[in-house]
Chain A
Amino acid sequence: MNAGVYVHVPFCLTRCGYCDFNAYAGLDHLKAPYVDALVREADLVAPDWHGTPFVSVFLGGGTPTTLPPDALVGLLRVFRERFDIAADAEITVEANPDTVDESYLRALRAAGVTRLSMGAQSFDPGVLRSLERMHGPDAVRRAFAAARRAGFDNVNLDLIYGAHGESVDSWRRTLEETLALGPEHTSAYALTVEPNTMLGRRVAAGEVPAPDPDGQAEMYEAACGVLGGAGYEHYEVSNWARPGRACRHNLGYWERRPYLGLGAGAHSWRRGRRWWNVKPPTAYLAAVGAGRPPIGGEEQLDTEDRDLERLLLGLRVASGVPSSWIPAEVAAEYVGRELARIEGGRFVLAERGMLLASDVVLAASQR
């Protein structure tokens, strides 16, 4: 089955208060050994994945573009040698607007990167400060223009809504600014307060209010209206794309296609088994340096796990799930409230219903 490769680069310029990813600022001295370790890990696991066709590669983080461009170029060359990566594979690199310029982006494009995912987050300076992002709105516009000049015709802008200090109006302006740039793809995430983050601690201490879920619901509906009105297809809870520009790699997660994760804390999935690498970069370096697979844990999904996962993933996307997975009375409840519809034997959430996907999962998976 068509698979994807995810490569994790855990380095960032600064740590954002809301982020709970496996990412670190101040570990620059580990960058060179880390790139070497990614190559060694690819060597270690390549025999296991011999014959698997890979249709996407995703370099994420962290901030992959904190590495020098030749490091990324070199990694892509190595992966092509070790794995069976399709000629027309989608190859995405995540970028922070402050870390790239035209020459950097040209180098990526020349190395076969087809898609750039840029962490814009907002066009409102107040909201960017509230999110502790270093860049201003102009940096996004500059980086976006540079990407176009470098030849990228498939660019995503990541946005976050519902931070402290954001209103529905300021969010609408961010959406309009996004449309003005005209990316092929936009991800809009509701700010989530994760417990093990600076933001989580500040919310717990009462220093910052927790996001208001009703306010976020209004912003979500604004996004549906603005982006939908501009011709973007809403193909997943938080993702919109021009026709044909949905992210193939991320769809792989939701469609439960196999993936190989490389790098600290990266997860892999194949044939009912999920395993993940050790999280701290130093532990990862130590394992790979000793020639051991850097695996931190694994699980084999039983039927119940599988049922829950395919429901929670399937309900996120516009194609929905087979209607047989949803008990009739639960389906009736959602369809009756116009939160979902049944079409072609599938239970598909409406846009308002997508925002209640967890509720559907829980209602449908009660014994």
Chain B
Amino acid sequence: MTDPKRIRNFAIISHIDHGKSTLADRFLDLTHAVPEREMREQFLDRMDLERERGITIKAQAVRLRYELDGVEYVLNLIDTPGHVDFTYEVSRALAACEGAILLVDAAQGVEAQTLANFHLAEGAGLAIVPAANKIDLPAADQAEAVRELAELTGQPEDAILRISGKTGAGVEELLRAVIERVPPPAGDAEAPPRALIFDSAHDAYRGVIAYIRMVDGRLPSRSKIRLMAERLDVEAEEVGVFAPDATPVDALGVGEVGYLVTGVKDVRQAKVGDTVTLARPRAAEALPGYREPKPMVWSGLYPVERGDYARLRDALEKLHLSDAALVFEPESSQALGFGFRCGFLGLLHMEIVRERLEREFDLSLIATAPNVSFHVVRGDDVLEVHNPSEMPPPATFDRIEEPTVIATVVAPSEYMGPVMELCQSRRGSMEEMRYLSPERVELHYLLPLGEIIFDFFDQLKSRTRGYASLDYEHRGYEAADLVRVDVLLHGEPVDAFSSVVHREKAQQYGRRMVERLRELIPRQLFDVAIQATIGSRIVARETVKAKRKDVLAKCYGGDITRKRKLLERQKEGKRKMRRVGKVDVPQEAFIAALRVDQGSGT
């Protein structure tokens, strides 16, 4: 165990692409934490998906040894997820630290995520070490970045470090500043142990591995421990530190950061935010801040091959073991057959789960358009609905409430108009506006979550030539005039196409859906009416005219084989079609009609 006075626990917080992972790589170099031949770019981003997307999905921790003025320090760098879907995980990672490096790309300046993460870190009482990064870039405006950081943090400009994670310039000075400015952890070494789980991973052989930050006491290997929120007693099969790979130790003491192998098979039993103590003597009180993961975005996942339902169920159960935030329940759709309604932290989380299901489990899936959870309020009863087709009829409730967010947008002031227009078109109301500098403005909007989960970010980027940045935090439920739009094929509602949208946008949504479906539904032997309805009112209608010709023109010369094969292929295509009432709808029509990028936004 290390003397707490020589420990510093810190995170790097920044906007996406401001150089966090590269800086972490330099720290590893400087402290010789990784043998050179094993070093690879963005060492901390371990999942393939993370490296491909250039983001950190799971938090990671690494222990660095660094000597300063003849004293060896243990620096625990806790990497935080870089996406708003994982705000709670970010908050837990920050709760495991005493300080944070606030990193800003000197060519970009302060961005929305910089602001959001800074406020999270400041709220958690962390010491902030601000640094302007990428000073080697020709486009870097060090003076402006330093000015903005000083303004944001309230620190004098000469306290802002100027560094380049790429060249290594200023990185040693930054480590010195971390040691000097971040306080050592404080905890009661004699008290029963308390450790915060700030992340967890699932290992096929060893079960759940909890990433923990010791607060009080001492946690020995092979002790009987208790997970306080779960009220679950298990054996600490192994404790250790990340140096940077998992290295077992006898015990973890006050302020240390490491891991705990519990042997439990399911991450839901060792959730992020929970407190680990000993079974005896047990800590009286858990550490503050534990919260059950709460899915914000829902979507139905269906196997393209109907026979793959059991495989999908098994895959979800396996993923669930390593992803406590993923929830799912069986559901069936007339149009899509048997599948699961799945809840996610956000759209990115949804995409990640879907990609993992397809990649790691070789499944081919149809996903329904994502929606948020609605509250249907009747008197004192609140019914949570997360499938539009389960929305009760309008006359049976008092009101519907939808989740909202406070969105922070940072953009050059010349784009303020387009940003405001976009937010207003998404039913946003401005809460606050502030100039970061004469050229850049910070806007805060209250927006319905349902209005930003589809293409809001893409729209924001395209209206500001890519200059705007976005972050948001959840802000409770608010009543809204929402209606359910159904889509009928030849008189039969297609449950997969139902959507809950704001009344003013209902007709637009209905029109777009029927127009898109008219292109996608193949012609049948009869005219097929495609209608969008709100209750019994038809708001849009199109017709797919009956087909008149479907025959091979020539069939002689003896090459019957080719004709037969042609029909066999068509037969296979027809077999894969889903039947809605009397109408055959190809799989692709569902997939194309449900594509997220054209979702129910504007």
Contacts and interface: CB of A to CB of B under 8 A. Distances in A.
B589 to A, nearest CB: 17
Contacts of A359: 525, 547, 550
Given A6-B558, A192-B553, A308 B564 contact: yes
B553 A189 contact: yes
B560 A253 contact: yes
Nearest to A367: B575
B549 interface: yes
Contacts of A269: 558, 560
Contact of A189 (B545, B548, B550, B554): B554
Contacts of B545: 214
Nearest to B548: A217
A312 B548 contact: no
B560 A356 contact: no
Interface in A191-250: 191-192, 213-214, 216-217, 220, 237-238, 250
Contacts of A253: 555-558, 560
Given A216-B549, A362-B571, A337 B525 contact: yes
Interface in A328-367: 333-334, 337, 339, 352, 354-359, 361-362, 365-367
Given A305-B564, A337-B526, A259 B558 contact: yes
B559 A267 contact: yes
Where chain A touches its partner, the secondary structure class is: mixed
B305 to A, nearest CB: 16
A267 B558 contact: yes
B556 A313 contact: no
A279 to B, nearest CB: 11
A367 B572 CA distance: 11
A21 interface: yes
A213 B557 contact: no
A106 interface: no
Given A190-B553, A237-B551, A354-B551, A309 B564 contact: yes
A308 B560 contact: no
A261 B558 contact: yes
B49 interface: no
Given A362-B570, A362-B571, A356 B557 contact: no
A299 B561 contact: yes
A358 B557 contact: no
B568 interface: yes
Interface string B557-586: 111110110011011001100000000000
Contact of A313 (B553, B555, B571, B575): B555
B552 interface: yes
The residue among A60, A299, A354, A359 with the most chain B CB atoms within 10 A of its own CB is A359
Given A337-B526, A356-B547, A356-B551, A366 B558 contact: no
A192 B554 contact: yes
Nearest to A309: B564
A58 B292 CA distance: 80
Contacts of B561: 267, 274, 276, 299
Contact of B560 (A189, A216, A274): A274
Interface string A297-313: 00100000100110011
A42 B553 CA distance: 31
A268 interface: yes
Contacts of A316: 551, 555
B549 A308 contact: no
9 contacts: A220-B549, A237-B551, A253-B555, A274-B560, A309-B564, A313-B560, A352-B548, A356-B547, A366-B574
5 nearest CB pairs, A to B: A267-B558, A217-B548, A357-B551, A213-B549, A359-B550
